[in-house]
Amino acid sequence: MSDDGTEQGSEYKLAKIGFIMLGVEDLDRSVAFYRDKLGLEVTMQSPGFAFLGGGGVTLGLNPGLWAALGKHPGATNVVFEVASVKAAHQGLVAKGVEFLGEPINVNGPQWAANFRDPDGHLLSAFGAE
């Protein structure tokens, strides 16, 4: 299997959950909770995101997700790490996955493409262009 989740001659597939993104109302308050009370290490923080080490999966905190998905618990996003977001987008569209839009640049070299599962849960492919 190659780094992009495909086997030679096969269709594209997502193979690894990179992190779980939680929508939060107040980023600083949530970072303090997960860091100070639960003991998770903050691995990166910017004005709109914080990422914490969660063992094999990174926990992301995002106030924008909270606002966009209705300001309630359950504002989550399962994020699949991919080598190429555009390749993942093309491969999954070919399988009938409907995306919410085209891949977008979210942070310098990092791109994302968002879609939903059959129950409406938000999922993303995230990685290089």
Pick the range with the lowest mean pLDDT from 11-20, 46-55, 111-120: 11-20
Mean pLDDT of 17-35: 89
Q: What is the pLDDT of residue 1?
A: 41
120-124: long-range contacts (C-beta < 8 A, 24 or more apart)?
121/76, 121/78, 122/69, 122/76, 122/77, 122/78, 123/77, 123/78, 123/79, 123/80, 124/21, 124/77, 124/78, 124/79, 124/80
3-state SS, residue 57: coil
Residue 115 pLDDT more than 50? Answer: yes
Does residue 56 carry a pLDDT above 80?
A: yes
Residue 25 has pLDDT above 90, yes or no: no
Q: Is the pLDDT assigned to residue 43 strictly greater than 90?
A: yes
pLDDT tens digits for range 70-83: 777 777 888 988 99
Q: Is the pLDDT of residue 7 over 70?
A: no
Mean pLDDT, rounded, for 99-125: 91
Is residue 69 very low, low, confident or very high in pLDDT (cuts 50, 70, 90)?
confident
